[in-house]
Amino acid sequence: MSSSSVSLYCQLLPDSQFFLQILIAICANIVVLGPAMGFGYSAVAESAMRSNKTDGDLQLDANQANWMATVSALGTPIGCLLSSVVMGRGRKTSMFVTSLISMAGWVIIYMSNSYVQILVGRSISGISTGMASVPTTVYAAEIAGSKWRSSMVTWTSISIALGVLIVYIFGYIFQDNWRMVALMCALFPLCAIALILLVIPESPLWLRDRNRPDEALEIMKKFRGIPKDQPAPAEVLFELKPRPQKKNQNTLKHLMKRSSLVPFGVMLSFFFFQQFSGIFVVIYNAVGIMAKSGVKVDPFLGAVLIGIARFIASFLMAGVSRKFGRRIPSMISGIGMTIFMGGLSLYLFLAEKGTVMADNGVIPVICMVMYIFTSTLGFLVIPFAMIGEVFPSKVKDILSGMTAAIGYLFSAITVKTYPDMAKLMNMYGVFLFYAIMSLIGAIFILLFLPETKGKTLREIEDMFSTKKKAFEL
Protein backbone atom coordinates (compact mmCIF):
# COMPACT_ATOMS: atom_id res chain seq x y z
CA MET A 1 0.00 0.00 0.00
CA SER A 2 1.36 3.43 -0.96
CA SER A 3 1.71 6.36 1.41
CA SER A 4 -1.26 8.12 -0.23
CA SER A 5 -3.48 5.07 0.20
CA VAL A 6 -2.42 4.78 3.86
CA SER A 7 -3.36 8.44 4.37
CA LEU A 8 -6.73 7.78 2.69
CA TYR A 9 -7.20 4.78 4.98
CA CYS A 10 -6.59 6.98 8.03
CA GLN A 11 -9.01 9.63 6.73
CA LEU A 12 -11.74 7.06 6.22
CA LEU A 13 -11.20 5.69 9.70
CA PRO A 14 -10.40 8.78 11.83
CA ASP A 15 -11.25 7.00 15.04
CA SER A 16 -8.39 4.57 14.43
CA GLN A 17 -6.00 7.53 14.55
CA PHE A 18 -7.27 9.06 17.72
CA PHE A 19 -8.67 6.28 19.88
CA LEU A 20 -5.27 5.02 21.04
CA GLN A 21 -3.98 8.56 21.52
CA ILE A 22 -6.96 9.39 23.72
CA LEU A 23 -6.83 6.13 25.67
CA ILE A 24 -3.12 6.34 26.44
CA ALA A 25 -3.32 10.06 27.26
CA ILE A 26 -6.10 9.32 29.78
CA CYS A 27 -4.00 6.55 31.35
CA ALA A 28 -1.00 8.90 31.54
CA ASN A 29 -3.11 11.58 33.22
CA ILE A 30 -4.17 9.18 35.98
CA VAL A 31 -0.54 9.56 37.10
CA VAL A 32 -1.36 13.19 37.96
CA LEU A 33 -4.27 12.48 40.34
CA GLY A 34 -2.32 11.37 43.42
CA PRO A 35 0.24 14.20 43.30
CA ALA A 36 -2.49 16.77 42.50
CA MET A 37 -4.32 15.92 45.72
CA GLY A 38 -1.42 17.52 47.56
CA PHE A 39 -2.68 20.93 46.40
CA GLY A 40 -5.91 20.62 48.34
CA TYR A 41 -4.83 18.48 51.29
CA SER A 42 -3.79 21.31 53.61
CA ALA A 43 -7.13 23.06 53.00
CA VAL A 44 -9.14 20.09 54.29
CA ALA A 45 -6.69 18.77 56.90
CA GLU A 46 -5.80 22.00 58.67
CA SER A 47 -8.93 22.31 60.80
CA ALA A 48 -8.68 18.68 61.97
CA MET A 49 -4.98 19.09 62.79
CA ARG A 50 -5.57 22.34 64.71
CA SER A 51 -8.62 21.21 66.69
CA ASN A 52 -8.27 20.30 70.35
CA LYS A 53 -7.41 16.63 70.77
CA THR A 54 -8.63 14.35 73.54
CA ASP A 55 -6.94 11.20 72.25
CA GLY A 56 -3.36 12.50 72.35
CA ASP A 57 -3.10 12.78 68.55
CA LEU A 58 -1.10 15.53 66.84
CA GLN A 59 -2.25 19.13 67.22
CA LEU A 60 -0.78 22.02 65.21
CA ASP A 61 -0.85 25.74 65.84
CA ALA A 62 -1.57 28.37 63.15
CA ASN A 63 2.09 28.84 62.18
CA GLN A 64 2.69 25.09 61.92
CA ALA A 65 -0.43 24.70 59.77
CA ASN A 66 0.83 27.42 57.42
CA TRP A 67 4.18 25.66 57.11
CA MET A 68 2.35 22.41 56.34
CA ALA A 69 1.01 24.11 53.20
CA THR A 70 4.23 25.97 52.45
CA VAL A 71 6.63 22.99 52.56
CA SER A 72 4.50 21.24 49.96
CA ALA A 73 4.64 24.34 47.76
CA LEU A 74 8.43 24.51 48.30
CA GLY A 75 8.82 20.83 47.40
CA THR A 76 6.97 21.30 44.13
CA PRO A 77 9.68 23.33 42.30
CA ILE A 78 12.27 20.78 43.46
CA GLY A 79 10.10 18.12 41.84
CA CYS A 80 9.96 20.13 38.61
CA LEU A 81 13.76 20.29 38.48
CA LEU A 82 14.00 16.58 39.21
CA SER A 83 11.52 15.90 36.43
CA SER A 84 13.88 17.58 33.98
CA VAL A 85 16.55 15.05 34.92
CA VAL A 86 14.28 12.02 35.11
CA MET A 87 12.49 12.85 31.83
CA GLY A 88 15.83 12.48 30.13
CA ARG A 89 15.60 8.80 31.10
CA GLY A 90 12.24 8.51 29.40
CA ARG A 91 8.71 9.91 29.77
CA LYS A 92 7.46 6.55 31.02
CA THR A 93 10.25 6.30 33.59
CA SER A 94 9.48 9.81 34.80
CA MET A 95 5.81 8.99 35.35
CA PHE A 96 6.72 5.78 37.18
CA VAL A 97 9.13 7.53 39.56
CA THR A 98 6.56 10.27 40.15
CA SER A 99 3.94 7.73 41.22
CA LEU A 100 6.34 5.95 43.58
CA ILE A 101 7.30 9.21 45.29
CA SER A 102 3.66 10.31 45.54
CA MET A 103 2.64 7.06 47.21
CA ALA A 104 5.56 7.31 49.65
CA GLY A 105 4.56 10.86 50.63
CA TRP A 106 0.95 9.95 51.37
CA VAL A 107 1.92 6.87 53.38
CA ILE A 108 4.35 8.93 55.50
CA ILE A 109 1.63 11.50 56.21
CA TYR A 110 -0.80 8.75 57.18
CA MET A 111 1.71 7.17 59.58
CA SER A 112 3.05 10.45 61.05
CA ASN A 113 3.47 10.63 64.82
CA SER A 114 5.06 14.08 64.94
CA TYR A 115 4.91 17.49 63.29
CA VAL A 116 8.30 16.90 61.66
CA GLN A 117 7.07 13.67 60.06
CA ILE A 118 4.09 15.52 58.62
CA LEU A 119 6.43 18.10 57.12
CA VAL A 120 8.58 15.33 55.62
CA GLY A 121 5.51 13.65 54.11
CA ARG A 122 4.18 16.93 52.78
CA SER A 123 7.58 17.81 51.29
CA ILE A 124 7.77 14.45 49.50
CA SER A 125 4.18 14.87 48.34
CA GLY A 126 5.08 18.34 47.01
CA ILE A 127 8.07 16.93 45.12
CA SER A 128 5.80 14.40 43.41
CA THR A 129 3.39 17.21 42.52
CA GLY A 130 6.20 19.05 40.76
CA MET A 131 7.35 15.91 38.99
CA ALA A 132 3.82 15.18 37.74
CA SER A 133 3.18 18.62 36.28
CA VAL A 134 5.43 18.42 33.23
CA PRO A 135 6.01 14.82 31.98
CA THR A 136 2.34 14.04 31.36
CA THR A 137 1.80 17.26 29.41
CA VAL A 138 4.97 16.72 27.38
CA TYR A 139 3.99 13.10 26.77
CA ALA A 140 0.52 14.09 25.53
CA ALA A 141 2.01 16.74 23.24
CA GLU A 142 4.44 14.20 21.78
CA ILE A 143 1.89 11.45 21.03
CA ALA A 144 -0.95 13.69 19.82
CA GLY A 145 -1.54 14.75 16.24
CA SER A 146 -1.72 18.49 15.56
CA LYS A 147 -5.54 18.33 15.28
CA TRP A 148 -6.01 17.15 18.85
CA ARG A 149 -2.89 18.45 20.57
CA SER A 150 -4.42 21.73 21.73
CA SER A 151 -7.08 19.76 23.62
CA MET A 152 -4.99 16.85 24.88
CA VAL A 153 -2.32 19.01 26.49
CA THR A 154 -5.05 20.54 28.69
CA TRP A 155 -5.98 17.14 30.11
CA THR A 156 -3.22 17.41 32.70
CA SER A 157 -5.03 20.41 34.15
CA ILE A 158 -8.30 18.47 34.08
CA SER A 159 -6.58 15.72 36.06
CA ILE A 160 -5.18 18.24 38.55
CA ALA A 161 -8.66 19.74 38.94
CA LEU A 162 -10.14 16.28 39.45
CA GLY A 163 -7.48 15.41 42.03
CA VAL A 164 -8.17 18.60 43.97
CA LEU A 165 -11.92 17.98 43.81
CA ILE A 166 -11.51 14.42 45.06
CA VAL A 167 -9.42 15.49 48.06
CA TYR A 168 -11.97 18.23 48.86
CA ILE A 169 -14.68 15.56 48.81
CA PHE A 170 -12.58 13.30 51.06
CA GLY A 171 -12.14 16.26 53.39
CA TYR A 172 -15.90 16.87 53.48
CA ILE A 173 -16.58 13.18 54.24
CA PHE A 174 -13.75 12.74 56.76
CA GLN A 175 -13.70 16.22 58.31
CA ASP A 176 -12.09 15.04 61.55
CA ASN A 177 -9.78 12.36 60.14
CA TRP A 178 -6.81 13.75 58.22
CA ARG A 179 -5.10 10.34 58.32
CA MET A 180 -7.94 8.66 56.43
CA VAL A 181 -7.82 11.39 53.79
CA ALA A 182 -4.08 10.73 53.30
CA LEU A 183 -4.63 6.98 53.06
CA MET A 184 -7.33 7.39 50.42
CA CYS A 185 -5.01 9.64 48.43
CA ALA A 186 -2.29 6.94 48.49
CA LEU A 187 -4.48 4.56 46.47
CA PHE A 188 -4.31 6.68 43.31
CA PRO A 189 -0.54 6.51 42.64
CA LEU A 190 -0.78 2.77 43.27
CA CYS A 191 -3.28 2.48 40.40
CA ALA A 192 -1.06 4.71 38.25
CA ILE A 193 1.93 2.41 38.75
CA ALA A 194 -0.09 -0.53 37.43
CA LEU A 195 -1.11 1.41 34.31
CA ILE A 196 2.45 2.57 33.61
CA LEU A 197 3.79 -0.97 33.80
CA LEU A 198 0.98 -2.61 31.81
CA VAL A 199 -0.45 -0.08 29.34
CA ILE A 200 1.57 3.08 28.62
CA PRO A 201 4.28 2.93 25.90
CA GLU A 202 7.30 5.22 25.65
CA SER A 203 7.06 8.51 23.74
CA PRO A 204 8.05 8.01 20.09
CA LEU A 205 9.69 11.44 19.93
CA TRP A 206 11.83 10.63 22.96
CA LEU A 207 12.87 7.38 21.25
CA ARG A 208 13.65 9.34 18.08
CA ASP A 209 15.91 11.74 19.97
CA ARG A 210 17.70 8.76 21.56
CA ASN A 211 18.56 7.28 18.14
CA ARG A 212 16.01 4.47 18.37
CA PRO A 213 14.14 5.13 15.09
CA ASP A 214 12.68 1.65 14.60
CA GLU A 215 10.98 1.64 18.02
CA ALA A 216 9.84 5.22 17.49
CA LEU A 217 8.28 4.41 14.12
CA GLU A 218 6.55 1.31 15.45
CA ILE A 219 4.88 3.22 18.28
CA MET A 220 4.07 6.28 16.16
CA LYS A 221 2.32 4.10 13.57
CA LYS A 222 0.10 2.75 16.34
CA PHE A 223 -0.74 6.27 17.51
CA ARG A 224 -1.54 7.35 13.94
CA GLY A 225 -3.78 4.35 13.22
CA ILE A 226 -1.51 2.79 10.59
CA PRO A 227 -1.45 -1.02 10.34
CA LYS A 228 1.82 -2.55 11.45
CA ASP A 229 2.43 -4.23 8.09
CA GLN A 230 1.86 -1.04 6.07
CA PRO A 231 4.47 1.63 5.27
CA ALA A 232 4.30 4.89 7.15
CA PRO A 233 3.01 7.90 5.17
CA ALA A 234 5.19 10.92 4.56
CA GLU A 235 3.50 12.92 7.34
CA VAL A 236 4.52 10.38 9.98
CA LEU A 237 8.07 10.11 8.67
CA PHE A 238 8.29 13.92 8.76
CA GLU A 239 7.17 13.94 12.42
CA LEU A 240 9.97 11.52 13.26
CA LYS A 241 12.62 13.25 11.17
CA PRO A 242 15.36 14.64 13.44
CA ARG A 243 15.95 18.36 13.11
CA PRO A 244 19.30 19.18 11.51
CA GLN A 245 21.83 20.29 14.12
CA LYS A 246 25.26 21.77 13.85
CA LYS A 247 28.01 19.35 14.77
CA ASN A 248 29.37 19.52 18.32
CA GLN A 249 26.66 21.96 19.40
CA ASN A 250 26.21 21.43 23.12
CA THR A 251 23.14 21.88 25.29
CA LEU A 252 24.13 25.38 26.42
CA LYS A 253 24.18 26.59 22.81
CA HIS A 254 20.71 25.12 22.28
CA LEU A 255 19.52 26.92 25.42
CA MET A 256 20.88 30.24 24.16
CA LYS A 257 19.01 30.09 20.85
CA ARG A 258 16.16 32.50 20.23
CA SER A 259 13.78 29.54 19.84
CA SER A 260 14.56 28.64 23.48
CA LEU A 261 14.96 32.04 25.17
CA VAL A 262 11.82 33.73 23.82
CA PRO A 263 9.32 31.05 24.91
CA PHE A 264 11.16 30.72 28.23
CA GLY A 265 10.73 34.42 28.97
CA VAL A 266 7.09 34.47 27.87
CA MET A 267 6.15 31.41 29.91
CA LEU A 268 7.94 32.62 33.05
CA SER A 269 5.99 35.87 32.84
CA PHE A 270 2.72 34.00 32.34
CA PHE A 271 3.43 31.84 35.40
CA PHE A 272 4.26 34.97 37.44
CA PHE A 273 0.85 36.48 36.77
CA GLN A 274 -0.81 33.10 37.30
CA GLN A 275 0.58 32.76 40.81
CA PHE A 276 0.39 36.38 41.98
CA SER A 277 -3.25 36.59 40.90
CA GLY A 278 -3.94 34.34 43.90
CA ILE A 279 -5.13 31.14 42.24
CA PHE A 280 -3.00 28.74 44.25
CA VAL A 281 -3.53 30.65 47.49
CA VAL A 282 -7.25 29.97 47.13
CA ILE A 283 -6.65 26.30 46.28
CA TYR A 284 -4.28 25.72 49.21
CA ASN A 285 -6.52 27.59 51.66
CA ALA A 286 -9.97 27.01 50.19
CA VAL A 287 -11.75 26.11 53.45
CA GLY A 288 -10.23 28.98 55.45
CA ILE A 289 -10.74 31.55 52.70
CA MET A 290 -14.37 30.55 52.26
CA ALA A 291 -14.88 31.05 56.01
CA LYS A 292 -13.26 34.52 55.89
CA SER A 293 -15.09 35.71 52.77
CA GLY A 294 -18.51 36.14 54.30
CA VAL A 295 -19.78 32.84 52.89
CA LYS A 296 -22.66 31.47 54.98
CA VAL A 297 -22.34 27.79 54.10
CA ASP A 298 -20.25 24.95 55.47
CA PRO A 299 -16.71 25.97 54.39
CA PHE A 300 -15.90 22.33 53.54
CA LEU A 301 -18.93 22.28 51.23
CA GLY A 302 -17.79 25.63 49.85
CA ALA A 303 -14.40 24.10 49.04
CA VAL A 304 -16.16 21.26 47.21
CA LEU A 305 -18.10 23.85 45.19
CA ILE A 306 -14.79 25.51 44.26
CA GLY A 307 -13.43 22.10 43.23
CA ILE A 308 -16.51 21.38 41.11
CA ALA A 309 -16.29 24.76 39.39
CA ARG A 310 -12.63 24.17 38.58
CA PHE A 311 -13.29 20.65 37.29
CA ILE A 312 -16.17 21.73 35.03
CA ALA A 313 -14.13 24.64 33.69
CA SER A 314 -11.20 22.30 33.00
CA PHE A 315 -13.43 20.12 30.86
CA LEU A 316 -14.79 23.13 29.01
CA MET A 317 -11.24 24.39 28.55
CA ALA A 318 -10.32 21.36 26.44
CA GLY A 319 -12.99 22.26 23.88
CA VAL A 320 -12.48 26.01 24.17
CA SER A 321 -8.74 25.68 23.62
CA ARG A 322 -9.23 23.52 20.56
CA LYS A 323 -11.61 26.08 18.98
CA PHE A 324 -10.16 29.39 20.14
CA GLY A 325 -6.50 28.58 20.86
CA ARG A 326 -4.51 30.13 23.72
CA ARG A 327 -4.76 33.91 23.54
CA ILE A 328 -8.52 34.54 23.55
CA PRO A 329 -9.37 32.19 26.47
CA SER A 330 -6.43 33.57 28.46
CA MET A 331 -7.55 37.18 28.01
CA ILE A 332 -11.15 36.32 28.91
CA SER A 333 -9.85 34.44 31.95
CA GLY A 334 -7.80 37.41 33.18
CA ILE A 335 -10.69 39.82 32.73
CA GLY A 336 -13.11 37.48 34.51
CA MET A 337 -10.74 37.01 37.43
CA THR A 338 -10.35 40.77 37.70
CA ILE A 339 -14.12 41.31 37.80
CA PHE A 340 -14.97 38.62 40.36
CA MET A 341 -12.01 39.11 42.67
CA GLY A 342 -12.49 42.87 42.48
CA GLY A 343 -16.18 42.40 43.24
CA LEU A 344 -15.39 40.28 46.28
CA SER A 345 -12.90 42.89 47.49
CA LEU A 346 -15.52 45.63 47.18
CA TYR A 347 -18.10 43.49 48.99
CA LEU A 348 -15.79 42.84 51.94
CA PHE A 349 -14.70 46.51 52.03
CA LEU A 350 -18.32 47.69 52.26
CA ALA A 351 -19.08 45.06 54.90
CA GLU A 352 -16.02 46.19 56.88
CA LYS A 353 -17.31 49.78 56.80
CA GLY A 354 -20.67 48.69 58.23
CA THR A 355 -22.79 48.45 55.09
CA VAL A 356 -25.62 45.94 55.63
CA MET A 357 -25.78 43.34 52.85
CA ALA A 358 -29.15 41.74 52.08
CA ASP A 359 -27.74 38.90 49.97
CA ASN A 360 -27.43 36.35 52.82
CA GLY A 361 -23.85 35.63 51.83
CA VAL A 362 -24.70 34.68 48.22
CA ILE A 363 -22.46 37.26 46.52
CA PRO A 364 -19.19 35.96 48.08
CA VAL A 365 -20.07 32.40 47.02
CA ILE A 366 -20.71 33.53 43.45
CA CYS A 367 -17.52 35.62 43.35
CA MET A 368 -15.30 32.82 44.71
CA VAL A 369 -16.76 30.09 42.50
CA MET A 370 -16.72 32.26 39.36
CA TYR A 371 -13.17 33.43 40.12
CA ILE A 372 -12.00 29.81 40.13
CA PHE A 373 -14.16 29.02 37.09
CA THR A 374 -12.77 31.87 34.99
CA SER A 375 -9.20 31.26 36.18
CA THR A 376 -9.44 27.68 34.96
CA LEU A 377 -10.50 28.84 31.50
CA GLY A 378 -7.06 30.34 30.97
CA PHE A 379 -4.66 31.45 33.70
CA LEU A 380 -4.65 28.16 35.60
CA VAL A 381 -4.63 25.71 32.67
CA ILE A 382 -2.96 27.27 29.65
CA PRO A 383 0.55 27.92 31.09
CA PHE A 384 0.90 24.24 32.00
CA ALA A 385 -0.46 23.18 28.62
CA MET A 386 1.91 25.42 26.70
CA ILE A 387 5.12 24.25 28.38
CA GLY A 388 4.54 20.91 26.65
CA GLU A 389 4.62 22.48 23.20
CA VAL A 390 6.60 25.76 23.03
CA PHE A 391 10.14 24.53 23.78
CA PRO A 392 12.47 22.88 21.22
CA SER A 393 12.78 19.12 21.65
CA LYS A 394 16.52 19.29 22.37
CA VAL A 395 15.99 21.39 25.50
CA LYS A 396 12.36 20.60 26.31
CA ASP A 397 13.28 18.45 29.32
CA ILE A 398 15.36 21.24 30.85
CA LEU A 399 13.26 24.30 30.05
CA SER A 400 9.86 22.79 30.76
CA GLY A 401 11.08 21.62 34.17
CA MET A 402 12.78 24.93 34.96
CA THR A 403 9.72 26.94 33.93
CA ALA A 404 7.34 24.89 36.06
CA ALA A 405 9.84 24.96 38.95
CA ILE A 406 10.07 28.74 38.96
CA GLY A 407 6.30 28.96 38.59
CA TYR A 408 5.81 26.80 41.67
CA LEU A 409 8.44 28.84 43.50
CA PHE A 410 6.19 31.84 42.86
CA SER A 411 3.39 29.69 44.31
CA ALA A 412 5.36 28.97 47.50
CA ILE A 413 5.99 32.69 47.95
CA THR A 414 2.30 33.56 47.59
CA VAL A 415 1.15 30.74 49.90
CA LYS A 416 3.66 31.66 52.62
CA THR A 417 3.01 35.41 52.48
CA TYR A 418 -0.79 35.12 52.36
CA PRO A 419 -1.34 35.14 56.18
CA ASP A 420 0.91 38.19 56.58
CA MET A 421 -0.82 39.98 53.69
CA ALA A 422 -4.22 39.26 55.27
CA LYS A 423 -3.07 40.78 58.58
CA LEU A 424 -1.51 43.81 56.91
CA MET A 425 -4.09 44.56 54.22
CA ASN A 426 -7.25 42.84 55.48
CA MET A 427 -8.98 40.32 53.21
CA TYR A 428 -10.44 42.98 50.93
CA GLY A 429 -6.94 44.39 50.38
CA VAL A 430 -5.55 40.95 49.52
CA PHE A 431 -8.35 40.32 47.02
CA LEU A 432 -7.86 43.76 45.47
CA PHE A 433 -4.15 42.96 44.98
CA TYR A 434 -5.09 39.69 43.22
CA ALA A 435 -7.60 41.55 41.02
CA ILE A 436 -4.96 44.09 39.94
CA MET A 437 -2.45 41.33 39.13
CA SER A 438 -5.11 39.54 37.06
CA LEU A 439 -5.73 42.68 35.04
CA ILE A 440 -2.02 43.28 34.40
CA GLY A 441 -1.72 39.63 33.39
CA ALA A 442 -4.52 40.01 30.84
CA ILE A 443 -2.70 43.00 29.32
CA PHE A 444 0.53 40.96 29.16
CA ILE A 445 -1.31 38.18 27.30
CA LEU A 446 -2.72 40.67 24.80
CA LEU A 447 0.74 42.02 24.04
CA PHE A 448 3.07 39.02 24.28
CA LEU A 449 1.45 35.56 24.40
CA PRO A 450 1.87 33.68 21.09
CA GLU A 451 -0.82 31.53 19.47
CA THR A 452 0.03 27.83 18.98
CA LYS A 453 -3.37 26.58 17.84
CA GLY A 454 -3.19 24.25 14.84
CA LYS A 455 0.59 24.29 14.64
CA THR A 456 2.87 21.27 14.75
CA LEU A 457 5.71 21.24 17.26
CA ARG A 458 8.15 21.90 14.43
CA GLU A 459 6.13 24.92 13.25
CA ILE A 460 6.01 26.29 16.81
CA GLU A 461 9.79 26.05 17.10
CA ASP A 462 10.22 27.78 13.74
CA MET A 463 7.79 30.51 14.86
CA PHE A 464 10.01 31.43 17.82
CA SER A 465 13.16 31.27 15.70
CA THR A 466 12.24 34.36 13.69
CA LYS A 467 11.66 37.90 14.89
CA LYS A 468 8.00 38.91 14.79
CA LYS A 469 5.76 41.29 16.65
CA ALA A 470 4.39 39.55 19.72
CA PHE A 471 0.75 39.66 18.60
CA GLU A 472 1.71 38.08 15.25
CA LEU A 473 3.29 35.01 16.86
Angle between helices 91-111 and 178-198 (to 10 degrees): 160
DSSP reduced 3-state for 59: coil
Give the residue extent of every domain in the chain: 13-200+250-472
Cα–Cα distance for residue pair 425/439, rounded to 1 Å: 19
Please state the separation of Cα 98 from the chain's center in Å: 14
Tens-digit pLDDT profile for residues 254-305: 788 888 899 999 999 999 999 999 988 888 877 777 777 666 678 888 889 8
Contact 271, 398 (CB under 8 A): no
Rounded-to-integer distance, Cα 133 and Cα 126, Å: 11
Give the range among 19-28, 140-149, 323-332 with minimum mean pLDDT.
140-149
3-state secondary structure 369-436: HHHHHHHHCCCCCHHHHHCCCCCCCCCHHHHHHHHHHHHHHHHHHHHHHHHHHHHHHHHHHHHHHHHH
pLDDT tens, residue by residue, 90-134: 889 999 999 999 999 999 999 998 889 999 999 999 999 989 877
- How does the average pLDDT of the chain come out, rounded? 84
Strand locations in 46-187, DSSP E? Answer: none
Predicted confidence band of residue 53 (pLDDT cuts 50, 70, 90): low
What does the pLDDT look like over 222-249, one tens digit per residue? 777 676 777 766 666 766 777 665 555 5
Q: What is the DSSP string of 148-181?
A: HHHHHTTHHHHHHHHHHHHHHHHHHHTTT-HHHH
- Weakest-pLDDT range from 39-48, 117-126, 181-190, 290-299: 290-299
Mean pLDDT along residues 185-208: 91
* Fold adopted by 13-200+250-472: Growth Hormone; Chain: A; (1.20.1250)
* pTM of structure: 0.77
Note the pLDDT of residue 11: 46
Q: How far apart are CA 369 and CA 375, in angstroms?
A: 10
The distance in angstroms from the start CA to the end CA of the chain is 39
Task: Give yes or no for residue 3 having a pLDDT over 50.
Answer: no
Q: Say what the pLDDT of residue 342 is.
A: 95
pLDDT 10s digits, 67-76: 888 898 889 8
CB atoms within 10 A of CB 211: 8
Burial annotation 64-99 (CB, 10 A radius, 16+ → b, else e): bbbbbbbbbbbbbbbbbbbbbebbbebbbbbbbbbb
Please answer whether residues 116 and 169 qualify as being in contact, where contact means their C-beta atoms are separated by less than 8 angstroms: no
In contact, 39 and 129? CB cutoff 8 Å: yes
d(CA 75, CA 125): 8
The overall longest dimension of the chain from CA atoms, in Å, is 79
